[in-house]
Structure 1
Amino acid sequence: MTATAQTAAGWSRPVALTVAAAFFLEQIDGTILATALPAIARDLGVRPGDAGLAMTAYLITVAACIPVSGWLSERFGGRRVFLVAVAGFVAASVLCGLSSSLAMLVAGRVVQGVAGAMMVPVGRFIVLAGTAKADLVRAVAYLTWPALAAPVIAPFLGGVITQYAGWPWIFFVNVPLGAVLLAVAWRVIPAADSAADSAVPAGIDVRTLLLVMAGTVGLVVGLELVADTRRLPVAAALLAVAALGLGWAVRRARRVPTPLLDLRSFARPTFRAANTGGVAYRVAVNSVPFLLPLLLQDGFGWSPVEAGLMVMWVFVGNLAIKPVTTPLLRALGFRALIAASSAGLAATMVVCALVTPQTPVAVMAAVFLLSGVFRSVGYTGYNTMQFADVPAGQMNGASTLSSTVVQLANGLGIALAAVTVRAVDAVAHPAAPSGLLGYRVALVALAVVAVLSTVALLRLPPGAADHVRHPRRERAAEPAGPRTTRSSRA
């Protein structure tokens, strides 16, 4: 199926799959270095803690640059920005793989972060802008799996590559994959029509951009440092800067005529619920791939490969439920299914906190698989519901705003998990097994966060976003649009 085989409303499976593949490359790159840091530090002659700067630099850059992606796509066209982002990601991967010093590696990671920040919201906008509300559930299902799969398989994949090929190949494998992705994207992603090309946006709001960058950098770095009790004053100062910067940016966004952050989508109850309660859900979801490998290694004494293989059952659950996620959403509705998923996720996290080294492997694998099932269904539900009532003219701004919120939620989930583990370990009884109690308390605490995420959701009316649950009814009510043809591509 080619890009010409779109529905009248513009839905294209090849475009969605291409963008999802780009998402996977970007998201897996954010965490794959975790198991390779000791080897990187050894080769570059630095301490492992210092080598962690390569991961932090990437996360900071992505968080800081996402807000400008919406303006770039309006100014230069989504297809063009997406292709340049993929090419930049591949080039930065080569630079990272060839690094002979920590400074060179960090520079390459910064370039990767810039490219990644462009790929995610711009790619999602490309898919959603050409998708009718009737096809929204199906489109978002394609875009959701990278965010669920990448954090789960990245540590294991990074460990295998580092052990058998060397850490530079973590980056070099992006070159052939990125080249194929670029060629496919060039072919299947349609260019914007001439009417859209003529709508050139106003100049970028530099002041708001600087405020957002200061706020996001302060928040991400501050959360990273909170886990280190020796740097709490610095962390507190950075978090204060983040609060001031983001608060001022929101105030400007409400007043200037062409804001960098389009906050109009927050007037939609479904978007607001998905980006308030949904943040708490994502915090819990993103803590699981961080906590479980450490629980199995530090608490149970498993090897990295053994822990990685067990956590892969979460990924199996993610994939196994995918074929029925859309039918479940259409049958049960967003409120009921997301609430059930949040409760199920919380229950599996509590069970994970109760497992012991003597727990049968089959039982443990079943619990991890169920965790993946609940993560997948709830994540897809929130990601679909947030765009259900957003009109086409606001989709670019909504995608950018949502991507910024998600990126910050990702960092918050890992930071809260790390802070909880360290705090518990600091006050635990000396007889308690090293690390085990901290991981158990963190899992239970974040299970509570998963339950609390439903508060905003349950305030929605029972029929919220029902119009995207019934594709035939919605499609019949929408006017047919022109098909995208091969000649419309650049």
Structure 2
Amino acid sequence: MTPPAPPRDPAGPGRLDAESAPGSWSRPVALVVAAAFFMENLDATILSTATASIARDFEVVPAEVGIAVTSYLVAVAAFIPLGAWLAERWGARRVFLAAIVLFTVASLACALSGDLVSLTASRAVQGLAGSMMVPIGRLIVLRSTEKSELIRAIAYLTWPALVAPVIAPLVGGLLTEHLGWQWVFLVNVPVGAALLVAAWRVIPAVPRAPRARLDVVGLGLVVAAVVSGVVAFELLGGAPTAVTGAGLLVLAVLLVLAAGRWFRRVAHPLLDLTAFRIPSFRVTNLSGSVYRAVVNGVPFVVPLLLQDGFGWSPAEAGLMLTWVFVGNLGVKPFTTPLLRRLAVIPIVTVSTVGLAATFVGAALVTAETSPVVIALVLLASGVFRSVGFTAYNTLQFADVPPERLGAANALSSITGQLAVGLGVALTALVVRIADGVLGTTGVGDPTGYRIALIVLAALALVSIVEGLSLPRGTGASLRAAPR
């Protein structure tokens, strides 16, 4: 008698196989995926330090180079749903390996670009490849991990998002100063080649499942909403473009509403929004996105505070920012035991309040403040951001059943990536508005940067309000004894 076919996964997007059950997690697989995340996260922010050099070579003003940064962030966020669909259709391992190859080739194309148009196009291709590496890599790890081992697995996947934005200014500055801006991209070629070999050896092949046709309308709505939203934030900060930016922001909101309505009505939506019915997932991806945006705004504003506000050199500012990285790294051995022993919500609350306090502390420093004091403030900021970031990333999947992991992962990847881009854009917008209202330029006057830090502190505190309403015992499955 022929056995019945496995049931169709109702979760929709992001499913990789038919009825695969979590098992013993693989450290080599987690490390390879984390390395891919690191390469993608580093490229999201490293270009900012090379902007002046690129502008000189292309004979454009530095502000125009910002489109190359924006095109990358937009492509990553907009095409994450497409990557999840491709993984279902062609297999997670195959698409993940192809994404590494495409990212490496696009990096080489960026280095060989002779004008801003070709650089922007190559960056968009990089972003497309990154949109496939992020959700697929994480889902490969999640599908092979039991709930009791989720803390350990997520700890491996979290460090790239914490470390890369912090060390990017230093790495980008050193490469640009000593080797040329092209090496900001060329460094990805040997790294990508090594990563491809490692991934080929350790990433398991996962059986593919039947998949409905691509939801082209849904993909178009998501891409249009992301592009409109990111460009809107870029335009809102300047008086001549503020009206256009406001119009695009309204358009983005309308497109999001239209996409939500479409996904609820269509039989096979590109994104399954039902994961938002799970309280812990909803909180960590809505309020948690505010936290992620805040975390990613700090590596942008602190170097500017030190350079433009206090007159430090780029190298001095980059080195000082590495104290955030030291805090991230130093607390890592204690993060997993902490999450196993204590409830997640109190950890998130305390770490968020502590993080906001360090923002206020950074806003209060002056040009005469001892570098030791500044380093201690940034060190504490790194500790709190690492604990909170890991707690949020772990809690979001704590109550998601295995059959819903694919859909939840796709939604989480989009909200997380948008938080990264919007965090920087929002911080820059606050600085520009503050400087415009106060009539300052930022150079020699740190007021705008201080106001931005205070705003980030306030937003951090706002992010914990919804989490406090979660029922007692949320995330308890994470503290179960591992097998």
What is the match of residue 266 of structure 1?
276
How far did 1:231 drift? 0.6
User: What's the counterpart of residue 10 of structure 1?
Assistant: 24
Supply the distance in 1 between the matched residues of 2:178 and 2:43 (Cα, whole angstroms).
18
- Are the counterparts in 1 of residues 310 and 444 from structure 2 also a CA contact under 8 Å? no
Structure 2 residue identity aligned to 1:161? L
Question: 2:171 aligned with 1:161, yes or no?
Answer: no
Distance 1:60-1:431 versus aligned 2 partners, 3 A rule: closer
Aligned equivalent of 1:208: 218
The alpha carbon displacement at 1:10 in A equals 3.1
- In the other structure, the counterpart of 1:327 is 337
* Secondary structure of 2:79's aligned partner: helix
CA distance in 1, matches of 2:198, 2:442: 54
Q: Does 1:105 align with 2:115?
A: no
**Which residue of 2 is the match for residue 362 of structure 1?**
372
Query: Which AA in structure 2 matches 1:70?
Result: A
Q: 2:464 maps to which residue?
A: 454
- Which residue of structure 2 aligns with residue 76 of structure 1? 90
Q: What does the per-residue CA deviation read over 1:187-221, in whole Å, with 9 as the maximum and x for residues that have no partner?
A: 0000014xxx2x21100111111011100110111
Q: Is the 8 A contact 1:120 1:403 kept in 2?
A: yes
Residue 241 of structure 1 is matched in structure 2 by: 251
Match of 1:44 in 2: 58
Q: Which amino acid aligns with 1:82?
A: F
Deviations 1:456-486 (A, max 9, x none): 11011121011111233xx4xxxxxxxxxxx
Residue-pair matches, total: 463
Does the residue aligned with 1:110 lie in a helix, a strand or coil? helix
Matched to 2:411, the amino acid is: L
Code of the residue aligned with 2:24 in structure 1: it is G
What secondary structure, in the 3-state scheme, does the structure 1 residue paired with 2:210 have?
coil
Letter in 1 for 2:331: I
Which one of 177, 188, 191 corresponds to residue 174 of structure 1? Answer: 188
Shift of 1:223: 1.2
Residue type of the alignment partner of 1:238:
L
Residues 240-288 of structure 1, C-alpha deviations (whole Å, 9 max, x = no match): 2211111111111112121101112111111011011101111211111
Give the aligned partner of residue 483 of structure 1: none
Residue 488 of structure 1 corresponds to: none
1:101/1:130 Cα in 2 relative to 1: closer, same or farther (>3 Å)? same
State the Cα distance separating 1:158 from its structure 2 match: 0.5
Q: Which of the residues 274, 280, 285 maps onto 2:290? A: 280
Residue identity opposite 2:201 in structure 1: R
**Secondary structure, aligned partner of 2:82:** helix
Distance 1:241 1:98, change over 3 A: same
Q: Tell me: CA distance 1:8–1:422, structure 2 relative to 1, closer, same or farther (3 Å).
A: closer
SS at match of 1:52: helix
C-alpha contact (below 8 Å) 1:271/1:385 kept by paired residues: yes
Q: CA deviation at 1:407?
A: 1.4
The question of whether the paired residues in 2 share the 8 Å contact of 1:425 and 1:434 is answered with no
**Aligned-pair distance for 1:428?**
2.0
The one-letter code matched in structure 1 to 2:187 is: V
Deviates more, 1:100-109 or 1:208-217: 100-109
Distance (whole Å) between structure 2 residues aligned to residue 102 and residue 431 of structure 1: 27
1:8 CA displacement: 8.3
Contact 2:309–2:442 (Cα < 8 Å) also in 1: no
Q: Distance in 2 between matches of 1:347 and 1:101?
A: 43
Q: 1:466 aligns with which of 457, 461, 476?
A: 476
Offset of 1:159 from its aligned partner?
0.7
Answer whether contact 2:108 2:189 (CA < 8 A) is retained.
yes
Greater shift after overlay, 382-391 or 222-231?
222-231
1:63, 1:217 within 8 Å by CA — same for their partners in 2?
A: no
Q: Which residue of 2 aligns with 1:127?
A: 141
Deviations 1:371-415 (A, max 9, x none): 000000000000000001111222121111111111111122112
SS at match of 1:471: coil
Equivalent residue in structure 2 for 1:26, among 16, 30, 40:
40
Query: CA–CA distance in 2 between the matches of 1:236 and 1:433?
Result: 28
Q: Which moved more, 1:101-110 or 1:446-455?
A: 101-110
- Counterpart of 2:52, as a letter, is P
Distance in 1 (CA, whole Å) between partners of 2:431 and 2:413 is: 28
Q: 8 Å contact 1:227–1:415 — kept in the other structure?
A: no
Question: What SS does structure 2 have at the residue aligned with 1:275?
Answer: helix
Contact 1:352/1:367 (8 A) holds in 2: yes
2:265 counterpart residue number: 255
Paired with 2:329 and 2:346, the residues of 1 have a C-alpha distance of 21
Per the alignment, residue 12 of structure 2 pairs with none
SS of residue paired to 2:271 = coil
Matches within 5 A, 1:47-58: 47-58=61-72
Is the contact between residue 276 and residue 456 of structure 1 (CA under 8 Å) also seen in structure 2?
A: no
1:228 aligned onto 2:232? no
State the alpha-carbon separation in 2 of the partners of residues 432 and 57 from structure 1: 26
Matched-pair identity in %? 55
Q: Distance in 1 between matches of 2:283 and 2:441?
A: 44
Aligned to 1:482: none
Q: Which runs of 5+ in 2 are unaligned?
A: 1-20
State TM-score, norm by structure 2: 0.93
2 CA distance for matches of 1:176 and 1:283? 31
User: By how many angstroms is 1:422 displaced?
Assistant: 1.5
Tell me how far 1:229 sits from its aligned partner. 2.1
Measured after TM superposition, the shift of residue 29 of structure 1 is 0.5
Query: What secondary structure sits across from 1:357 in the alignment?
Result: coil
Contact 2:22–2:144, Cα closer than 8 Å, also in 1? no
The Cα shift of 1:42 comes to 1.2
Question: CA shift at 1:430, angstroms?
Answer: 6.5
Are the aligned partners of 1:295 and 1:436 in contact in 2 as well (CA < 8 Å)?
A: yes
In the alignment, structure 1 residue 343 sits paired with structure 2 residue 357:
no
TM-score (norm 1): 0.92
CA drift of 1:433 comes to 7.5
C-alpha distance 156-272 of structure 1, shift in aligned 2 (>3 A):
same
Match for residue 140 of structure 1 among 144, 154, 174: 154
Deviation at 1:336, TM superposition (A): 0.6
Q: AA paired with 2:182?
A: P
The correspondence for 2:197, drawn from 183, 202, 212, is: 183
Residues 136, 468 of structure 1: 8 Å contact kept? yes
- Between the aligned partners of 1:408 and 1:132, the Cα distance in structure 2 is 28
